[in-house]
Structures are given as structure tokens and as C-alpha cells.
Structure 1
């Protein structure tokens, strides 16, 4: 990875089922960040283009969600590619993706200043998500000018095999986006625990970005967090008073701790298959390309 990667974790509160308003708000945020304190990577939460589904299955909501979903490439990724080129920042956001054939995916897209788009589709669907989305079938690592970035969405991070498969593929930074609400049955700082453990056990940087706002009686409270490969917390957000949380990731932090992988014993306990590495450096020809 680069010697230094500055990350802006945007604790975004989406407008329900309004991709145009959300797209414009994200573009404005990227421009504001570039103007006030430039970042190499700007990350928005899960389903930032539409908001998160209601806690109970609702067929009417499903029809509205299908209308608000977008193809990739599509209007939001085109707009983000433009602002990425203008600011020099890589931008990642959750999106309700309209797939060929009409299926929807809960996706995380990463766009680069060169106009490249990488997509991860949430592999592990949580709760009622399966009523609206089809699961992804691969774990991805984007090979970018910032370094190798593993992409995941919320519930994906609960399964240690997912992060390990990305680490085995050479990921240096893991980015996971969330729509995580307060859960009285879980620790208050669950995202912090998740980030610290996944970073430490894989010797990678882990960036967890959660949303704000309230939808369908569910309150989302941010608490985005980033941890370095030793498990040290680099930054931690709170609620609406922290709309943008910043972290500085360094290559030195990787090189200082990366002994663990050499001591592993897959001959004893097996190994998950490495994630798929997707090149995301420059477009192979003019225009927008996706992978």
C-alpha cells in the first residue's frame, strides 16, 4: 500500500428511497472533504443510496426499493467517478444494485479517480434482507493505487473466514460498511470490537463505517471506527456530532506486525480460498469499466 492513506469515514444519514438526493449529498460531502481536509479514500455506509429496509418484511417497500435501485455502472457510480476524478479521492459507498434480470443486490462499490468501478455484493444476508436481495457469490479484493482493499458489507464481517480469505489474497486494508443499529443483546461498542479483532487477527487495517439517522423506528448511531494491523484503534466516531471521522493508515504499521501469517498452520486446520483480486488501477480503454 501507499506509505500513507488518509481515510474519511462519513457517518451518512440517507434519505429513504431517494437515490437522487442521496447521490447529491454524497457528491457534496466528497467535495467538502477535498476542500477542507483532503482524503485518499472516502467511505459512506451500507445502502447509502436508498436507506435500509424496515425490520419486518413489506412487499410494498420491496416494489419501491426495486424502483430506487440502480445498475452498476449507473447514475450514482457515474457521478462518483466524476467527483473522484475531480478530487483525486477513491470513493466507496453502499448501493442498492439493480442486477441484469431484475434481481437486487446489497452492494458496496469502490470507484477510483481513473474511472474504474469495483463491486462487492453482500454475501451474508441478514434477517429480512433475503426478501429483497440476492446474495453475492464471491469475496473481492480491489488492487488500487492506494493498496489492496478488501470490500465487505455489515454481516459479512461476522464471519472470520471472509476477512481471512481477503487477507490471504493480499488485502492490506479491509473496508466494511454498516447499517448497524443499537442492539440491547450486543455490546455497545460492537463495531469497535469487530474492527479490532479483524484487524489484529489478519494484520490488516480495518475501516468500519456505520450510518446515522432513523428509519422505520430503528435508530442508527454511527460509532464508525478504524483499527490498525496491531489492533490499535486509530479513530472512533460517535453520533451526529461526528458526521466525518478521519483516520490515517500507514504502510509502516503493516510491516511492523506482519509475522502472524508466516506462523499459520493450514496443514492442520485447512484454509479458506483466497478472495478474488480485481484490478482497479486504470481503465483498459476510455469510458467507465466495472469489475
Structure 2
């Protein structure tokens, strides 16, 4: 496959849905002029994120949208020949009047329509009060190659990125609304412990799976949350190829994804050299409760 230009967005998206859609469309149009082929927006770009992780205000939740609704249709129309990933609150399977707002979701589109979807699986703190959890990780084919998506806290868990990599993804889009620490806030964002973890997870998930990871994030403030920014593209060796740091903007890289992954896997091929039969203990050890282990696919 020929080289492609990848863009990772760091920007603020608030509760005003009409303004959010217009902002996303405007960024897509600007990115097209710059020759971007794959563009990854933050989580909750269409209507913003919840304002408090510990006790979300259920009267101030983001608007829930249907995947086949006019907002996603506007993104599809703007995408054209680009591949675009964007986060939003998806209406619950039980309808708009369900107890929770819906799913914290991401959709990947081109001008041809929807290429793939993901519903956030791992929920930190009180997010489960606001959203229903997803239950799977899958890869899908796009014009820029086979991809998978993660949302926010999903990338904290190695099994999440590994699942989509095992399913053939060479690019992982990690869409985030990742805030600074809510319990031990630093005076400067770069010094915040969540800032360090955000970069650490991005690099580790790329390196351990030898894939390209495209990490987007919100900036600014929503309720009590102050978002980190730090959008970036990470190569298959875990090297940060481009980053916005804590500012808003777009990190871009032009690269031949397949060539870089082939080079990374030439001597040490992590996925091929896995030993899944050894990863599940014969019996739980220790005295505390142990969750049932998950067996990932082997091909």
C-alpha cells in the first residue's frame, strides 16, 4: 500500500450539537486540503462528554444520536475519499428513553458510508451511571487498511488493543476524552500523572502489538474535567512520530503503514510468537478475588 497521511485531532467539543457537527465538518475540509487520508477525532466530538466522572449529572448528559441519523450522515458527506473516525453518544438499543444515555461510541466512515463501529467497553469511575458498556472488540477494512478502534479507558487494558490486532488491525484509532487527574491535579498539564499515563499507554499499545496507533483527545474543560490534549501518532516500535502536546491542533504524519509494520515484525513478530495456551492459570493464586480470565482469539 502506498504512503498515507494520518491526522490525529486535539480540540474542544462542547454540548452544542449543531456547532460540534459544523466544527467536525470544517476540520475534515481543512484536512482534505492538506492531503490527509485518515483523520481521527476525539471521543465525544458530537455533543461533548459528561462533566463529572464520579457523579455524572444525568440531566446534563450529551445528546444521544442514531448511527443512521443526520449528524453521522453529515460526517459521511464531508468525508468523501477520506477515512474519518469520530466519537459520539449512541442511542441505546432500548431507545432514547432508556435509563442510561446510551453507549459511548465511535464510528469510522468514508464517503461510501459506515466502515466500522465501536462501543466503549471499559468504564472508569461513575461512567457506568451514564452509559451502557459495549461488549466486543473487532477490526474492519477501510481504504487505508484494516483498523480497529478503542475509546478512552479501553486502552488501559492490553487485552483490548491485542484483540483488534489479533483480528488483523494494522492501525488502531484511540479516541479519547481523557482528563487530568480528578484526585491529584497538577498545576501544569504536562506534570499531571494522567498526562504521563496517557502517553505511556499510547506507546505501549503500539509497541506490544507492532501497529500504528492514532491517539486523539479533547482539550479544554467540560464541567469539572480538564482534558489533556496530547493527540499523537505512534509508530509500531512505540516511537511518537508527531504530537500536539497539551495544545489543540492536529498531529500529522505521512508514512507507509504496511512497510513500517513489516520492518518492525521482521525479526521479532509479537503476535506470531504469542503462547496463548500459557496465559490462563491452572488455578487462581493469592487470597483475593480473581476475575475469570478472558481467552483471546488465536488467529
TM (norm. structure 1) is 0.86
CA deviation string 1:215-272 (max 9, x = no partner)? 11322130112211111111111233x4111123422110012222222222222573
Hey, what does 1:268 align to over in structure 2? Answer: 278
Aligned-residue CA RMSD in angstroms? 1.9
Hey, what does 2:127 align to over in structure 1? Answer: 129
Hey, what does 2:73 align to over in structure 1? Answer: 78
1:226 aligns with 2:233: yes
Hey, what does 2:165 align to over in structure 1? Answer: 167
Checking the alignment, whether the CA contact within 8 Å between 2:115 and 2:140 is kept in structure 1 is: no
Checking the alignment, whether the CA contact within 8 Å between 1:77 and 1:117 is kept in structure 2 is: no
**Aligned equivalents of 1:49, 1:125: Cα separation in 2:** 19
Spell out the pairing of 1:17-96 with structure 2 (5 A cutoff): 18-35=16-33, 37-55=34-52, 56-62=55-61, 65=62, 68-85=63-80, 88-96=81-89
**Aligned equivalents of 2:298, 2:89: Cα separation in 1:** 22
Cα deviation for residue 188 of structure 1 reads 3.1
CA deviation string 1:175-222 (max 9, x = no partner)? 111111122472533222111111111111111111111111322130
Mark the CA change 1:265 to 1:133 in structure 2 (over 3 Å): closer, same or farther. Answer: same
Residue range with higher mean Cα deviation, 146-155 or 92-101: 92-101
Query: For 1:81, what is the secondary structure of its paired residue?
Result: helix
CA deviation string 1:24-80 (max 9, x = no partner)? 110011001112x11111111011112111212223224xx3xx2110111221001
TM (norm. structure 2) is 0.83
1:245 aligns with 2:245: no
**Aligned equivalents of 1:218, 1:115: Cα separation in 2:** 33
Cα deviation for residue 143 of structure 1 reads 1.1
Larger Rg: 2
1:148 to 146, 149, 161: 146
Structure ranking higher in helix proportion:
1
Cα deviation for residue 273 of structure 1 reads 2.7
Residue range with higher mean Cα deviation, 43-52 or 256-265: 256-265
**Aligned equivalents of 2:166, 2:65: Cα separation in 1:** 32
Q: Structure 2: give runs of 5+ residues left out of the alignment.
A: 185-191, 281-293
Equivalent residues, number: 266
Bigger relative contact order (CA 8 A; separation at least 6): 1
Q: Structure 1: give runs of 5+ residues left out of the alignment.
A: 277-291
**Aligned equivalents of 1:275, 1:158: Cα separation in 2:** 21
Residue range with higher mean Cα deviation, 154-163 or 252-261: 252-261
